[in-house]
């Protein structure tokens, strides 16, 4: 299963750099005898002039819905918001902003909470209106756990109501009966730096008789209504596919060609083709959430050789998406390829992110 872009989009954040909203300039009248001083920067919308929809969301939540609506109402791109926050001394990456508005992460660290207070001013919403929707911090677990301590599949998404509900409608009993021997993701990135396709190959071993399926969850953190395309390639076929278009969540079964006997291994392969993203969604990352350990995990990035990224790194996090180690820089070769490897990894998140050629001023690392 994946997290942001956990395949579970793997996602998180995606579009290419988009044009920012231009501010209208006021022209002085002829009656002015003296030039007026430059006006102080103002929020995009006045707190008292917010829409009824936004006012209701700021009152009831959830946090991510209120934030998405506030960003949409502000008419500011994520790039422009990031620029304004940096100018205020509270820098936040576009990846983090995208995660916040998708509900995949929340600002919890002290520097993130300071940035949120400034973000309220940038968006022109009342002071503490977004902060009040956060609730208590999420518990943080260890990055790695023994398989006997691994929580149920649904527990990883317990704070994500839509995901937890979708998982109740699908058979996940076989998930713990399959040992992860190896896992290889190839992430294809287009010339604008947007994630377009993930091709996955897994080698698993059945620990009991009759294991017959693999369940995947793809969390795209996007507002587009078109779900990703899941295409089985080897040793499997598509079973149930459940989608929550509002949250861009997909849960799907990959049914094996035959039920496995105990000790039998299976090499399965499939790909996920991602649709174009919305105007405020920068998805320049991919991560995989491992509930159970995997002996070898390889994530390979394939960029357009003519448009390599300005930067690329891997990172490790715990199950709540909090980063647990310093990111590691990845080298991109002349063919536009880079890769990262993890051995005996899990429970936790292993991810990669990149700074597209067009976004020279964007930090590749994300904040909560």
pLDDT in tens, 228-277: 789 999 999 999 988 876 666 788 899 999 999 999 999 999 999 875 55
In this predicted structure, the answer to whether residue 288 has a pLDDT above a threshold of 70 is: yes
Q: Any idea what DSSP says for residue 117?
A: H
- Mapped onto helix, strand or coil, the DSSP state of residue 99 is helix
In this predicted structure, the answer to whether residue 15 has a pLDDT above a threshold of 50 is: no
Q: Using an 8 Å Cβ cutoff, are 351 and 99 in contact?
A: no
Short-list 243, 344, 291, CA closest to 141: 291
Q: Report CA torsion sign: 303, 312, 103, 219.
A: positive
Q: Using an 8 Å Cβ cutoff, are 282 and 78 in contact?
A: yes
Who contacts 161 (Cβ-Cβ below 8 Å, separation ≥6)?
A: none
Where in the chain are the domains?
47-133, 147-355
Q: What is the pLDDT of residue 282?
A: 58
CA 61 – CA 231 distance, rounded (Å): 36
Peptide bond into 62 cis (omega under 30): yes
Starting at the earlier edge strand, list the strands of the sheet with 285-290: 285-290, 348-355, 311-317, 328-329
| Helices 63-74 and 78-87, packing angle to 10 deg | 90
In terms of C-beta density within 10 A (0-12 exposed, 13-18 middle, 19 or more buried), how is residue 239 classed? Answer: middle
Position with higher pLDDT, 2 vs 93: 93
User: Is 0.75 surpassed by the pTM of this model?
Assistant: no
CB-CB neighbours of 43 under 10 Å:
14
| Helices 52-60 and 63-74, packing angle to 10 deg | 150
Assigned token pair, 100 = 């916040």
- Mapped onto helix, strand or coil, the DSSP state of residue 55 is helix
Alpha-helical runs (H) found in 255-333: none
In this predicted structure, the answer to whether residue 145 has a pLDDT above a threshold of 50 is: no
Q: What is the pLDDT of residue 173?
A: 77
Q: What is the pLDDT of residue 297?
A: 95
The dotted CATH code for 147-355 is 2.60.40
CA 367 – CA 183 distance, rounded (Å): 27
pLDDT band at 143 (very low <50, low <70, confident <90, very high): very low
Q: What is the pLDDT of residue 136?
A: 62
The reply to whether CATH 1.10.260 applies to domain 47-133 is yes
Find tokens 């956060």 and name the residue.
134
């Amino acid at each position: 299963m994946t997290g942001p872009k956990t395949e579970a989009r793997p996602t998180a954040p995606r579009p290419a750099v988009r044009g920012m909203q231009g501010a209208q300039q006021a022209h002085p009248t002829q009656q002015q005898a003296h030039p007026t001083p430059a006006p102080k920067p103002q929020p995009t919308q006045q707190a008292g002039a917010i829409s009824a929809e936004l006012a209701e969301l700021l009152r009831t939540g959830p946090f991510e819905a209120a934030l998405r609506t506030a960003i949409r109402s502000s008419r500011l791109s994520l790039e422009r918001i990031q620029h304004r926050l940096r100018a205020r001394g509270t820098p936040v990456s576009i990846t983090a902003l995208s995660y916040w508005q998708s509900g995949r992460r929340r600002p919890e660290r002290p520097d993130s909470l300071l940035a949120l207070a400034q973000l309220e001013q940038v968006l022109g919403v009342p002071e503490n209106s977004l902060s009040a929707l956060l609730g208590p911090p999420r518990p943080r677990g260890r990055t790695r756990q023994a398989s006997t301590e691994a929580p149920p599949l649904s527990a990883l998404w317990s704070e994500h109501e839509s995901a937890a509900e979708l998982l109740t409608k699908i058979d996940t009993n076989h998930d713990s009966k399959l040992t992860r021997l190896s896992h290889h993701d190839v992430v294809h990135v287009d010339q604008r730096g947007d994630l377009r396709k993930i091709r996955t190959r897994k080698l698993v071993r059945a620990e009991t008789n009759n294991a017959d399926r693999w369940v995947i969850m793809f969390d795209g953190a996007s507002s587009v209504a078109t779900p990703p395309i899941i295409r089985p390639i080897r040793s499997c076929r598509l079973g149930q596919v459940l989608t929550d278009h509002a949250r861009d969540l997909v849960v799907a079964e990959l049914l094996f060609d035959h039920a496995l006997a105990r000790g039998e291994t299976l090499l399965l392969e499939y790909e996920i083709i991602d649709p174009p993203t919305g105007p405020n969604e920068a998805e320049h990352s991919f991560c995989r959430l491992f509930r159970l350990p995997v002996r070898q995990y390889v994530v390979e990035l394939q960029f357009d050789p003519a448009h390599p990224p300005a930067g690329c790194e891997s990172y490790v996090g715990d199950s709540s998406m909090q980063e647990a180690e310093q990111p590691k820089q990845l080298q991109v070769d002349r063919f536009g390829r880079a890769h990262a490897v993890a051995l005996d990894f899990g429970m936790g998140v292993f991810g990669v992110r990149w700074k597209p050629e067009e976004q020279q001023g964007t930090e590749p690392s994300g904040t909560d």
